[in-house]
Amino acid sequence: MATDREISHGRNITWTLRAKQAPEHNREAWIGTSWIVEVTATGRRDGKPFHANHLFITSLRTTPKALLQLVRDRWSNCFAKAWRLRGLALDPRYPAP
């Protein structure tokens, strides 16, 4: 289990990652699968209660702390890209197609 806390940009969120080894039948069906992972984010975003729960499987073999950092970095990059694209869509210099 690993936890991390984010306090910035109107967010106060605790991220928790729990992982357990995938059962034998999963490892047989999906070769290379190592872990079943649950990432939970709870707290407040823009002053409102926030809760998100994500489940996934992975073949990465690393510590829960490192895996949580990888997940957070990936989502951060996705959100940053979305915000950049949103900014371009609102900029009159870049009209919508």
pLDDT at residue 97 in the model? 47
pLDDT at residue 29 in the model? 86
Mean pLDDT by 10 residues, the chain (97 residues): 88 91 85 86 92 88 86 66 52 51
**Contact status, residue 1 vs residue 15, Cβ threshold 8 Å:** no
- What count of other Cβ atoms lies within 10 Å of the Cβ of residue 17? 22
Torsion from C-alpha of 43, 69, 55, 40, nearest 10 degrees: -10
Domain ranges of the chain: 2-89
